[in-house]
Each structure stands twice: as structure tokens, then as C-alpha cells.
Amino acid sequence: MTEITAPKSPVTAEQFADEIREQLKYTQNVTTEQATPADVYVAASKAVRNHLADSWFKTQADTVNGNTKAVGYLSAEFLMGKQLRNALLNAGLTEQFDKAVEALGFKVQDVVDAEYEPGLGNGGLGRLAACFIDSLASLGVPAFGYGIQYKYGIFKQEFDKDGKQVETPDYWLANEEPWGHIDYNRDQKVSFGGKVVENADGTKTWQPAWSVRAVPVDYLVPGYKSGRVNTLRLWSAKSYDEFDLLAFNRSEYMEAVTPQVKAENISKILYPEDSTKVGKELRLEQQYFFVSASLHDAIRVFYPGQDKPDLTTFPNKIVFQLNDTHPVIGIPELMRILIDEYGYDWDTAWSITTKTFNYTCHTLLPEALEVWPASLIGELLPRHLEIIEKINAQFEDELKSKGVDKNTIKDMAIYTGDAVRMAYLATYGGSHVNGVAELHSQLLKDVTLKNFSDVYPDKFTNVTNGVTPRRFVKLANPRLSDLITEGLGTDKWLSDLEMLKGLEPLAKDDEFVKKFAAVKKANKVDFAAYAKREYGFELDPNTMFNTMVKRLHEYKRQSLKILSVISTYADIKSGKVKAEDVTPRTVFFGAKAAPGYYLAKMTIQLINNVSRVVNNDPDVKGKLAVYFPWNYNVRLAQHLIPATDLDEQISQAGKEASGTGNMKFALNGAMTVGTLDGANVEIRERVGAENFFLFGMTVDEVEKKYAEGYNPASYYEADPRLKHAIDMVADGTFSNGDRNAYSPLVADWLTKDWFMTLADFSAYMDIQSEIEALYADELEWNRKALLNVANSGYFSSDRSMEDYLERIWHTAPLAD
Ligand code: 26Q
């Protein structure tokens, strides 16, 4: 066995400064005098990475040699956020870094600002994956994150002069990126197309038409105070033939690079979330690409140098979690590997495969469940289509033998002859299926996957999402973190978040509540400075900061929020509410819309134009302002969440699987206005109904209304506030008199309104009045906000991971 050295011991600030100097000199090749903040950022990052190297090697060795099963988290998205501050925190080098940078003659802020955030995810699902791998490392559980190193992440969002969203490519690798290490020597070959031939002995051979080289880029995932460093392995697609020499000799330059372009296209771009079916060939190529490479990689890691490994032990070595349906092609791929590459029989292969995989569902919208045309799978992965057909046949037999009726069997088909339903394949091909909040998991069982839960009730479970307190409290909100530590007399809460409960008695202590209020105020002042610097906004930190940040989607109902803002604007302007009765408010929106999502993009345009009109109207100055900082990302979240007084979680009940922003806001001492949806339900249960602003229809009421036949126009007619707000959108108030600018949006509200924004409007306006009344009492507001913090410890992703360990993965941390 190789000798594993102990982790590098912490260093002094002087020593760390020397390490940065050394990196500057020998790897950046600049003198300290020549260096820019960006050079220092790269040098310091590499120095921190070096500090983590020994722990990384030791964790890898223990993972392979230890007797604990590892976790493989397969995800098309990892929305990591910036790395430097997090790595410093977990390496115990924060103070040394701050002092060293000063000693080198730089400003800490400039150095930290030089880091560019990788946007390798769309939103909740990708950020959840990042929180989970942070928590696994912090708990000391051996784990691999497996995904794709997209060359272009989620698009950069800008707004044009009309307030429309403009998407530009986000080339995040334009400058040196010190965190990922590309490992050309641990590559994998991934093949596509061609045909399947039957051999004389009845076995099958897939003869693919083309192959791609999958090269891993490794990111270290340091645990907080665990001494463990796990691996995030993101695959990058390269071509085997750099260019086609034959074509090149004929001087056909463009043709010569075609195979290279085709191969490298696979990891070129992240699909911007589209909750409707997008049957794109490239998307399937991406999914198969990273999943095939990852499964082969796991075999390489756990059976090093073995030609004929005993893969019946594979499920004891590693358990794979499928993050939504995106990696579900892994099920037929593992079957193929076991049967075609290692010669196992079908039943043995099936037994290994079903023990290896579990599936997490993140949606309730049936249209968001992936379904692939069989013809596409047949063309791209002909052997996999055969395997899927056979899985489906076996499944039908199993259902028959269980006495399931014919029609139900048909409804449950994994393979319909035309299409492959990935969620069904995942449910049958894995051991467990989980939703991401109690309500969501219940609805999965009762509605979305009801037939499956009837036949396989034991497969279904819940694991409520969580967020990492290291990034979203400690790093994002150092003031609150210090106050919590002061209140609890220890900082152990950062790895045991339920300890926040100890703050509960302090909610009775007015002095402590005042300190808590002062933290929020200081964060708002900070955010105002940040927003001035980054966006040129002039914010008033003496107003209520009211925030709605999340992807733009009809079901999330940004429309409800903007209609209420319009209504408030109209009331103040007309003098209907007296100036002295208005609670001054600054409303923030942050949201990207999928580039092809017409109504979502129009909603963005409307919000921007409401912002323009309201912010320039002297009649409401100091009372109401609306800001839409563009390009919402993890960095902006870390600045805005700690500065927020009131958070909006106002999706139609039964549509938001969980939400994780809601948890981040509660942990940072914001109050929530929300519906009984997703994890809101559990947040409210924990923080107490009296500390949560609930409004709107429940899931049952929504269902009833759909059944009765929903008529949005009747709500428009019944509530004059709503009518007036919609009329203002229609009459050109927010489009320089153009009455057509928003007509598709207005028409949708009045005739369809699928997510019942109009039906919930009155309740929403009423709760806003209650909110304003409470906000007027600063001490009471902050007492309640503090109780939100004290009772949100459950929403740590450490707890989520413990639930997965117990309910799904059946594994444990490594021994020391
Ligand atoms: C699918 C097919 C083709 C192209 C893109 C996609 C695609 C990509 C991303 C579909 C969905 C997503 C992302 C979904 C997502 O972020 N869901 C959210 O997951 C969170 C974590 O569990 C929950 O908190 C949110 O409620 C849920 O909306």
C-alpha cells in the first residue's frame, strides 16, 4: 500500500504569503510586483489546493480500501458557486489568507472578486447537488460527484433597453481556472451509433459508429472540519482524431475538423432548463456521455488493475443516486457493461443493477418527466434500446404475476413502442424513489407515480432537501454567524445545525433581538453598496427589503408578485392609501427565463418596465421601488439573501417540489410569505404558524377548482384592485402607451391562468397588509425572524444526507 502522509498542517499568515509568492513565481511566472489581483487569486487558490492534496489522497485510499460503501451522485448539473472562500474555510486558512493578501499589498476584496463563478447548473437541482457533496465531505462519507464540465454554463442574462432578456454565452473558462485538474491519464471511451450483431453463441456485440474521449476534470470537495476531501469529477468531451488528415490534405479545412467539432460539442453547453419536452439528440448524447464514463470510472477506481473483477460486489462498493431522470440511461448502460463487457448473465446483471441505483424526482409537472423517442435511442444507442425492451418485457411479466390488470400494465409501460419513459425506467430499475419534500413525496405516491407506488410501496420514501450552512450562513452572512456563535457560546452549530434551537430562549431577550436587528440592518447597508457597485442601483436600506429570486416560471407566479406591486403603486399614486400609512418597500426580483419560454420572457420585460415606471415616479419616491438585478446567480444569492426582510415563496400549491431558497432565507432571518407548497409546509411547521405568512389555496382546493372549471375572468371582475392592476398592464402604462406590448400575457391571465394567479390575488393582498402591520413593530418582526433562524436547523443539507444514508444508501462515514 502507498504511504499516506498526514494532511498538511495549518500554516501562519507569513508562511501562507510565502506559498502565494512561490505560486506567483513558479506557476504564474510573475513577480509579486507584476502581479494583478487575478494573479494573486490563482496563486492563492493553488496554494489552498495544495493544502488539501494530502487529505484528498488519504480520502481516496480510505474510500477504496475501507469497508464503507461510497456514494456516486450522478447529476447533469453542479452549481458550485465560487470556490476560494469555501476552500479557505474548510482548510482552516481564512485568517492566514486575509493577512497574507494584505501583506502582499493587495485588497482581499479585489482578490476574491477575481474569481468567476462557474454556472454549471440551472437552479435548484444543480445547487442542491453542490450542497449535497459539501455535506457528504463534511460528514466524512466517501463520495464522488459525477457530471459534465460544460464549456458554456447557464447563459449570462442582460436586459436590453426595452427591458427584454438577452442571453449571451457564458465562457467561464476564458481565464485560468485553478480548481479543476484535467487528468488525461484517467480518460474513458464513450461510443455511439452503429448496430448490434448477434454472435454464434447467442451473445450480442454492439459495433458503434463513432466514439468520444471522456477526460475527467477533478475538483476537490473539502469537508468542513472532517479532514476529508472528496472528488467532483466532471467529464469533458475530446475527439480521438484531432482532425481528419485525409480531408486536410485535400485542403478542406472545415471538413477536416468536423469529427472534432462533433465530439467536443457534447460537453459544449448546458441546456437551459426547459420544463417542457425537448427531445434533442445532443441532450441524450450528453446524458449517456457522462453516465457511461462515470460507471466505467467507478469500476476502474474500485477494482484497480483487475481484468476480471467480481462485479457482484459492485453494489457493496458504491451506490449511485440519479439526480432526476437526466442520468437514467445509466440503468441500461450498467446492464450492458455487465453483460457485454464482463459476460454476466441477465439475471445476475439485473440484480447488481437494481441494487446500485436509486432515483430522486424533482418535479410534479408531468410534462417535465423525460420521455425519449425510441427511434432516437435506437439510432444513438441501439444496444441500449434492446436492453430497455427486455427490461420492459420482464417488467410486464412481473406485473402480470402480481395480478395487475391489463390497462394498468399498459399505463405503466417503460417502453411504449414509440417512446421510453425515463422516470418509469428509474422507478423499476432502482431500489428507492424519493421526492424532495414531504408534500412532494406524498403527491408522487398519490398522483405522479401512483401505479408504481401501489405495486412497489416499499420503494417510495421522502428526503426533504437541505442547504449547506457553511456557504449560506457562515460565508454569506458572517455577522449573523458571529451573533449565533455569541448566543450559543460555540460555533459547533456549523456542523450540527439543530443547535440553532438554542437561540429560541434568546428571542425573549430584547437586547439580543436588537443585536439581531442590527445585523440585518448592516447587511442591508452592505447590500446597498454592493448593488451600487455592481448594478448602479441607489437603494434605501431603511425600507423593507422584499425579495423574490428563483427561475422564472408560470407556476412560481412572479406574475402574482408583480400584479401586487402594480396594485400598491396605483394605491399610493392615487392617494388611496395615505403616505404616512405606507410601509416603504424595495422589491427585488432575480430570475432567468429559459430562452424559448415566451410568457416567462414577457414577464421579465413587464417587471423591468414596472421597475422603470415606479422608480421614476416622484409620487411614490421613498415609498416603493422595484429592482431587477440581472444575471441572478449563486454569488448574488449570497449577497441578497442575508439582506432580505421578506422572502416570497408563492408558487401554486402542489407545483414546487421543494424549493431551497426558502430554507436559505429562513436561516438568514427573513420572514416568508408563502403558500402551502413544497418545503414551505415543513418550514412553517417548524418555525410556527405564527411566524410564517401563509396565504392561498391548498392542493385540495386547487384540485377542486380545476375540476369545477376555473374561470380567471370572474376573479378579475370581482376584485377591483386586481382589475385595475391588469388594466394598467393592458393600457400601456408600462409600455409607453403601447397597448399591445403585453397582450399575450394579459390574454393568458384572463382566459387560461393555469396556475391560478388571479384566484390567489385577493388573499395575497390581504396577507401583505398583515405583513406591513407587523413590520411597523421592529422588535416583534425581528423576534419572529429570529425564531425562524432558531427553528430552521432541520434544513441543513447535513441532515438531508443523514436521511439518505439511513433510508436509501445504507452506508456510513469513513472511520478516522
Ligand atoms: C430537461 C430536459 C431537457 C433540458 C433540460 C431539462 C431540465 C433541466 C433542469 C429539467 C429540469 C431541470 C431542473 C429542475 C429543478 O431545478 N428542479 C428543482 O429542484 C429543486 C431541488 O430539489 C427543488 O427544490 C425545486 O422545487 C425544483 O423545481
pLDDT digits (tens, 9 = 90+) for 227-242: 999 999 999 999 987 6
The answer to whether residues 3 and 137 belong to one domain is no
Per DSSP, 231 falls in state E
Angle, nearest 10°, between helix axes 124-139 and 797-804?
A: 80
> Which helix H or strand E contains 484, and what residues bound it?
helix 478-488
Q: How many Å lie between the centroid of ligand 1 and the Cα of residue 275? A: 7
User: Rounded distance, CA 483 to CA 771, Å?
Assistant: 26
Q: Rounded mean pLDDT of 31-59?
A: 97
Q: How far apart are CA 482 and CA 491, in angstroms?
A: 8
pLDDT in the model for residue 250? 66
Catalytic status, residue 501: no
Residue 678 Cβ inside 6 Å of ligand 1? The answer reads yes
Quick check: is 390 in a domain?
no
Lowest mean pLDDT among 128-137, 358-367, 605-614, 719-728: 358-367
In a domain, 622, yes or no: yes
| Cβ atoms of residues 349 and 335 within 8 Å | yes
CA–CA distances in Å: residue 281 to residues 284, 325, 378: 5, 16, 11
Each residue of 352-378: b (16+ CB within 10 Å) or e? bbbebbbbbbbbbeeebbbbbebebbb
Residues 129 and 98 in one domain: no
DSSP state of 295: H
How far, in Å, from the CA of 402 to the mean position of ligand 1? 34
Evaluate whether residue 402 is within a structural domain. no
Q: Report the alpha-carbon distance of residue 151 to residue 172 in Å, rounded.
A: 7
Give tens-digit pLDDT for 373-430: 999 999 999 999 999 999 999 999 999 999 999 999 999 999 999 999 999 999 999 9
131 and 38 co-located in one domain: no
Rounded CA Rg of the chain: 27
The C-alpha cell that represents 158 in the structure block: 442582460
Give the CATH number of the domain where residue 608 resides.
Answer: 3.40.50.2000
Signed CA dihedral, 772, 774, 775, 781: sign only: negative
Mutate to test the pocket of ligand 1, among 122, 321, 552, 655 (most ligand atoms within 8 A of CB): 122
301 with 204, same domain?
A: yes
Q: Specify the 3-state DSSP secondary structure of 786.
A: helix
The pLDDT assigned to 579 comes to 79
Q: What is the pLDDT of residue 391?
A: 98
pLDDT computed for residue 242 by the predictor = 61
Mark which of 316, 337, 369 sits at the end of a domain: 369
| Rounded distance from Cα 273 to ligand 1 centre (Å) | 7
Q: What letter does residue 445 receive in the DSSP assignment?
A: I
Task: Give the model's pLDDT for residue 259.
Answer: 74
Beta-bridge partners for 70: 318
Cell 441572478 identifies what position? Answer: 632
Atom of ligand 1 nearest to the CA of 121: 9
The pLDDT assigned to 3 comes to 40
130 lines ligand 1 (CB under 6 A): no
Q: What share of the chain is helix, strand, coil (3-state, %, to 5)?
A: 55, 15, 35
Give the tens place of pLDDT for each residue, 480-514: 999 999 999 999 999 999 999 999 999 999 999 99
pLDDT given at position 277: 67
DSSP 497-563: GGGGGGGGGGGG-HHHHHHHHHHHHHHHHHHHHHHHHHH-----TTSEEEEEES---GGGTHHHHHH
Ligand 1 atom with least separation from CA of 660 = 24
The pTM (predicted TM-score) of the whole model is: 0.97
Residue 5: pLDDT over 50: no
Burial of 397 (0-12, 13-18, 19+ CB in 10 A): exposed
Asked, for residue 796, whether it belongs to a domain, the answer is no
CA 242 to CA 41: how far, in whole Å?
33
pLDDT tens digits, 149-190: 999 999 999 999 999 999 999 999 999 999 999 999 999 999
Q: How far is the CA of 791 from the centre of ligand 1 (A)?
A: 27
Ligand 1 site, residue 677, Cβ cutoff 6 A:
no
Query: Does the structure show a pLDDT above 70 at 772?
Result: yes
Question: Average pLDDT, stretch 33-62?
Answer: 98
**CB of 123 closer than 6 angstroms to any ligand 1 atom:** yes
Give the distance (Å) from ligand 1 centre to CA of residue 56.
31
Whether residues 247 and 344 fall in one domain: yes
pLDDT of residue 532: 98
Please name the residues in contact with 145: beta carbons below 8 A apart, sequence gap of 6 or more. 73, 75, 78, 129, 133, 221, 230, 231, 232, 233
Distance CA(410)–CA(624), nearest Å, equals: 56
Average pLDDT, the chain: 96
122 pocket-lining for ligand 1 (C-beta < 6 Å): yes
Comparing C-alpha atoms, which of 694, 674, 718 is closest to residue 561? 674
Q: What is the pLDDT of residues 547-557, one digit of tens each?
A: 999 999 999 99
Atom of ligand 1 nearest to the CA of 657: 26
* Residues 149 and 261 reside in one and the same domain: yes
pLDDT of residue 634: 98
H helix or E strand, kind and range, residue 72? strand 70-74
Q: Please state the rounded mean pLDDT for residues 95-109.
A: 98
Task: State in Å: Cα 190 to ligand 1 middle.
Answer: 26
Domain edge (last residue) among 320, 337, 369: 369
Q: Is residue 593 included in any domain, yes or no?
A: yes
Confidence band, pLDDT 50/70/90 cuts, at residue 96: very high
From 51, 470, 471, 550, active-site residue? 550
Q: What is the pLDDT of residue 6?
A: 44
Which structural domain, as residue segments, surrounds residue 22?
A: 1-67+83-116
To the query of whether residue 553 is one of the catalytic residues in this protein, the response is no
The pLDDT of residue 366 is: 84
The continuous run of DSSP H or E covering 191 comes out as: strand 188-192
User: Which atom of ligand 1 is nearest the CA belonging to 440?
Assistant: 26
Name every residue whose Cβ is closer than 8 Å to that of residue 421 and which is 6 or more positions away in sequence: 369, 370, 371, 413, 414, 415
Q: Which atom of ligand 1 sits closest to the CA of residue 436?
A: 22
Of 359, 326, 367, whose CA–CA distance to 426 is shortest?
359
Helix (H, G, I), strand (E, B) or coil at 218: strand
In angstroms, the CA 150 to CA 152 distance is: 5
User: Which residue's alpha carbon is at the smallest distance from atom 14 of ligand 1?
Assistant: 125
pLDDT at residue 620, rounded to an integer: 97
556 is catalytic: yes
221 within a domain of the structure (yes/no) = yes
What is the structure's pLDDT at 2? 38
Work out how many domains the chain is built from and give that number: 3
289-307 pLDDT tens trace: 999 999 999 999 999 999 9
Residues 683 and 795 sit within 8 Å (Cβ to Cβ): yes
145 and 54 fall within a common domain = no
| List 296, 326, 556, 557, catalytic entry | 556
Q: For residue 654, what pLDDT is reported?
A: 97
Q: Tell whether the torsion through CA atoms of 430, 385, 146 and 662 is positive or negative.
A: negative
The pLDDT value recorded for residue 66 is: 85
pLDDT tens-digit series, residues 212-232: 999 999 999 999 999 999 999
What ipTM does this complex have? Answer: 0.99
The residue contributing the CA closest to ligand 1 atom 19 is 125
Domain shared by 222 and 173, yes or no: yes
**Is 362 an active-site residue?**
yes
* Domain membership flag for residue 404: no
Q: What is the pLDDT of residue 669?
A: 98
**Mean pLDDT throughout 180-204?**
95
Does 550 participate in catalysis according to the annotation? yes
pLDDT at 4 over 60: no
| CA of residue 160 to ligand 1 center, whole Å | 27
Quick: pLDDT tens for 641-679: 999 999 999 999 999 999 999 999 999 999 999 999 999
Question: At 303, which amino acid appears?
Answer: Y
Q: Examine the domain organization and report whether 110 and 185 are in the same domain.
A: no
Question: Are 174 and 262 in the same domain?
Answer: yes
Which pLDDT score, from 0 to 100, does residue 246 have?
58
Determine, yes or no, domain membership for 407.
Answer: no
> Distance, CA 337 to ligand 1 centroid (Å)?
29
Query: Both 591 and 732 in a single domain?
Result: yes
For ligand 1, atom 11: residue with the closest CA: 273
Question: What is the separation, in whole angstroms, between the first and last Cα of the chain?
Answer: 18
Beta strands per DSSP E along 346-502? 357-360, 371-373, 419-421, 433-435, 460-462
62 and 147 housed in the same domain: no
Task: Give Cα 751 distance to the centre of its chain.
Answer: 33
DSSP conformational letter for 794 = G
The predicted structure's pLDDT at residue 176 = 94
> 415: which 3 cell numbers?
417502453
Whole-angstrom CA distances from 642 to 130, 545, 546 are 20, 10, 12
- Asked if residue 274 has its Cβ within 6 Å of ligand 1, the reply is yes
The catalytically annotated residue of 362, 470, 553, 783 is 362
pLDDT over 50 (residue 680): yes
- State which of 369, 396, 421 marks the end of a domain: 369
d(CA 809, CA 320): 8
660 is catalytic: yes
